[in-house]
Structure 1
Amino acid sequence: MNMARRQAGYGGHFALLDELRGIAALAVCLFHIGTRATGVQLFPNGYLAVDFFFMLSGFVLAEAYEARLGQPGASGGMDWTGFARRRLVRMAPVAVLGAALGGLYLLARCLVAPERSDPLDQILLGNALNLLILPKLWHGPATGWELFPANGPLWSLFFEIVANLAWAAFLVRRSTPVLALLVALSALAVMACAVRHGTLDMGWQASSLDGGLARVCFGFGVGLLLHRLRAALPTMAWIVAPIAALALVYALALPVQRLAWTLFLAMVFLPCVLILAVAAGRHAAVPGGAWLGRISYPLYGIHVPLLAIVAGAAKRLMHGAPLGLWGMALVPPLLLAAWLVLTRIDEPCRAALTRWLDQAGRPSPRPAAIRHG
C-alpha cells in the first residue's frame, strides 16, 4: 500500500467497480433463478445487490458529473436538463425492452392461464406505465402490489432515476456535513422500515414504497459521501481487488437471512466493500470481470422476463416440478442474451438517441439577411 498516493489525485477509470457491478448483477440473476425456476438458492441474500448498485451509482455519478453540475455556466459544465437527458439515454433502452418482454409474457399468461392472471385491462394499463418506467400502484389478483409486474427489477431503476434527478437538482451543491446528515437520517429510515416490514427486501411492492425510498436514499447517499471523502483513502495494492470481490460474494451468498444480519450487511459490510473497491479501483479482480461488468445492466434489465417465459413453459411441461440444478444451465443463455442486447440494441439505441437529442437541442440556423441596394 502506497500511503503517499491518494485517491483524490486519481483521474483514471475505476475498473474494479465495473467488475463488482457485474458480479452483483450475476448474483441477482442467480437469486431469481433460484426463486423462479430451480428451487435451489445459491445467493439467498442476492437482493442486497440492489443496495450495492445504489452505492455504486452514487459514487460513479459523482465522479462523472459532480464537478460539471456544480458549475453549470462554466466551460464543460452541465445543467439539470442536460444531466436528465443523459440519464434517460443511458437507462431507457434496456428498461423499455425489459418491460416490453415482461408485458408479452403477462399477455401470454393471460391467454393460456387466465385464472393465474390479472384482468386484461389491468395488464395493458400496468404495462403501459411500466414501459414509461412508472410503477403500478393498485392491487392485482395475480400480481398483488408489485410496482413493475412486467419486469420486477425495474423498481430499483425507477427509484434510482428519482434519486439521480433529485441529486442533480438539489443535493449536488450541498456541503459534505449536510450530505452526511442526510445519509444518517436515511440509515435510521432504513432500519425503521425494515423493522416495520419484517425484511430488508423492500421497495418492489406498493405496500413497501417507503422502504424502497429509504434504501435508495441510503445507498446512493453512501456512494456520494464516499466520493466526497475519497481523498482520505490510500491507493491499495492489487491483492485488495480480489478480496473486495470475495467479500461481495460472501455477503450475497451466505445463507443467513435474519433481519439484524441483513441490516448489518447492507448498512456496514457493503459500504466497507465499496471503500475497499475504491481504494483498489484501478486493479482487476477476476478474469472476464470487465466483460461481465459491461453486460451487467442488460443482464439485470432483461433476465426476469426471460426467466418467467422459460420457467412458465417448464412448469407446463414438467407439471409444476422445479428444474432443480438443471436451472443453472440457464445462466450461459442469459449472459449471451445480455451481450446481444448490449451490442445489437442498447448501444445502437443510445447512439441514435444521443444524436437525436443533440440535434433537437441545437438552435436552428438563422436565415441569411437579405441585402438591399
Structure 2
Amino acid sequence: MNTATQQARQGGRYALLDEMRGIAALAVCLFHIGTRATGIQLFPNGYLAVDFFFMLSGFVLAEAYEARLVADAPDRAPVMDWAGFARRRLVRMAPVAVLGAGLGGLYLVARCLVSPDRSDPLDQVLLANALNLLILPKLWHGAATGWELFPANGPLWSLFFEILANLAWAAFLVRRSTALLAAGVALAGLALVACALRHGTLDLGWQASSLDGGLARVCFGFGCGLLLHRLRHALPVMNRAAAILAALALVYALALPVQHLPWTLFMAMAFLPCVLVVAVAAGSHHVMPGGTWLGRISYPLYGIHVPLLAIVSGAAKRMLQGEPLGAWGIALVPPLLLAAWLVLTRIDEPCRAALTRWLEHTARRPRQTATIHHG
C-alpha cells in the first residue's frame, strides 16, 4: 500500500511533524517577544500556532496510542488502560510545565515585593502560583493580572486544555466511530465560530472570560488531528517539495500581518488543517538544517520562554527607562533557544526518566504484593 503513513513508517517516524512543531514554537516565542517584551512583531498571528499545536497533538497521540488503547479483538484487553495513558502524559508534560510556572511565580513574587503598585496582592499572587504549579487556572480577577488563567506562565492555558482533551479522548473518543468523530469536529467548529464572533477575536482561552473559546479551540484542533489520523491511509505520498511548501505555508499563516477575524478564522479552520494534511502526506522528509533539533526543544521553548521574557523585559525597562526593545528583541532568540536546550537535556529528560522509573516501580508493587498473599 503506497500511502503517506507507510512512507513515514519506513523512515521511522513523522520527522516533518517534529520540524513543524519546532517552527510553530519559535513563532510563538517571536510573537511574545513582540507582545510581552516590547520587541518588533514578526509573527502578528503567532497565537494561531497554538491551534496548529492542538492539531499536531491529536494526530501524533492517535499515532502513538490509539492502537494500544483499543483492543484488536473483542475477546482481548487493550495493551494500555486509561490510567497508564494518563501517567505517561503526566510524565511527558509535568517537568517543563512545573518549571515554567515556578520561574514565572518567582518573578511575580519579586515584582510584588519591588513594585506592589504593579502587582496583585501578595496572597493572591501566592495562591495563583500554587494553582499554576498544579497546572490549574486562576479564576478570579487580579488588579495587575486581570482574568489571566496562568499569570505565572501564560502558555500553560493551552497545556491545561490539552490535558483535558487528551484524557477525554483516551477515556471516550478513542473507541468512537470516524463518523461520530467527524460530527464532533463539525460541532466544535461551529462553537469556535460562535465564540470568535462573541468575543471579536480568535485569541481566546488564556483568560477566564474566554474559557468557552479555549475549549472550542482545543476541541476543534485536537479533533482535526484525530480525524486526519483516521483518514491517513487515503493520503497520497508527497515529495520533499510538498514538505517545504507545508513549512512555508505555516510561516505564511503565522507571519502575514492580516488580523481581521474572518481571515484568522479561515487560517485556523481551513488553512492550517490543510497544512497539516500536506505535512502528514510529505511524511518523513526534512525541510531545513537544524529542524530536528528545533523540534526536540519545541516543548521546553514553549514552556519557559514567557517567564524568561518577563524577567528580561522587566530588567530592560529599568535599564532603558521604559524604551521598547524594538529590533533588539531578536537578540533574545539565541539565549532562549540555548535555555530550552539546557532545560531539555539537564532537567526535562532526566526528570521524565526518573518519573518513569518511579511510576513503573509503584505499578509493580501491588502485583508483587498480591502474588505474595496468594502464595
So what's the TM-score if we normalise by structure 2? 0.95
Partner of 1:60: 60
1:7 matches 2:9? no
What do the CA deviations read for 1:216-237 (whole angstroms, capped 9, x no partner)? 0000000000000001101111
- The alpha-carbon deviation at position 367 of structure 1 amounts to 4.5
Q: How does 1:1-373 map to 2 (within 5 A)?
A: 5-10=2-7, 11=9, 12-71=12-71, 74=76, 77-362=79-364, 363-365=367-369, 366-367=371-372
Secondary structure of 1:364's aligned partner: helix
- Percent identical pairs in the alignment equals 79
Amino acid at match of 2:305: H
1-structure distance, mates of 2:330, 2:320:
17
- The alpha-carbon deviation at position 74 of structure 1 amounts to 4.4
Q: Cα RMSD between the aligned structures? A: 1.5
After TM superposition, the structure 1 stretch with the greater mean CA deviation from structure 2, 151-160 or 66-75, is 66-75
1-structure distance, mates of 2:134, 2:68:
28
- The alpha-carbon deviation at position 364 of structure 1 amounts to 2.7
Contact 1:203 1:210 (8 Å CA) reproduced: yes
2-structure distance, mates of 1:266, 1:330:
28
- The alpha-carbon deviation at position 145 of structure 1 amounts to 0.3
1-structure distance, mates of 2:289, 2:39:
29
1-structure distance, mates of 2:196, 2:374:
67
After TM superposition, the structure 1 stretch with the greater mean CA deviation from structure 2, 228-237 or 73-82, is 73-82
Amino acid at match of 1:80: W
Contact 2:27 2:46 (8 Å CA) reproduced: yes
Shift in alpha-carbon separation, 1:369–1:356, aligned structure 2, 3 A: closer
Contact 2:4 2:282 (8 Å CA) reproduced: no
2-structure distance, mates of 1:367, 1:230:
47
- The alpha-carbon deviation at position 8 of structure 1 amounts to 4.5
Structure 1 unaligned runs (5+)?
Answer: none
Contact 1:38 1:325 (8 Å CA) reproduced: no
Deviation beyond 6 Å, 4+ runs, structure 1: none
2-structure distance, mates of 1:203, 1:167:
20
Aligned residues: 367
Shift in alpha-carbon separation, 1:368–1:106, aligned structure 2, 3 A: closer
After TM superposition, the structure 1 stretch with the greater mean CA deviation from structure 2, 291-300 or 316-325, is 316-325
Shift in alpha-carbon separation, 1:267–1:368, aligned structure 2, 3 A: closer
Shift in alpha-carbon separation, 1:91–1:70, aligned structure 2, 3 A: same
After TM superposition, the structure 1 stretch with the greater mean CA deviation from structure 2, 24-33 or 322-331, is 322-331
2-structure distance, mates of 1:229, 1:9:
13
What do the CA deviations read for 1:137-161 (whole angstroms, capped 9, x no partner)? 0000000000000000000000000
What do the CA deviations read for 1:156-197 (whole angstroms, capped 9, x no partner)? 000000000000001000000000000000000000000000
Contact 1:38 1:326 (8 Å CA) reproduced: no
Secondary structure of 2:2's aligned partner: strand
Secondary structure of 1:5's aligned partner: coil
2-structure distance, mates of 1:307, 1:100:
14
Amino acid at match of 2:252: Y
Secondary structure of 1:204's aligned partner: coil
Contact 1:45 1:254 (8 Å CA) reproduced: yes
What do the CA deviations read for 1:83-107 (whole angstroms, capped 9, x no partner)? 0000000000000000000000000
1-structure distance, mates of 2:198, 2:215:
14
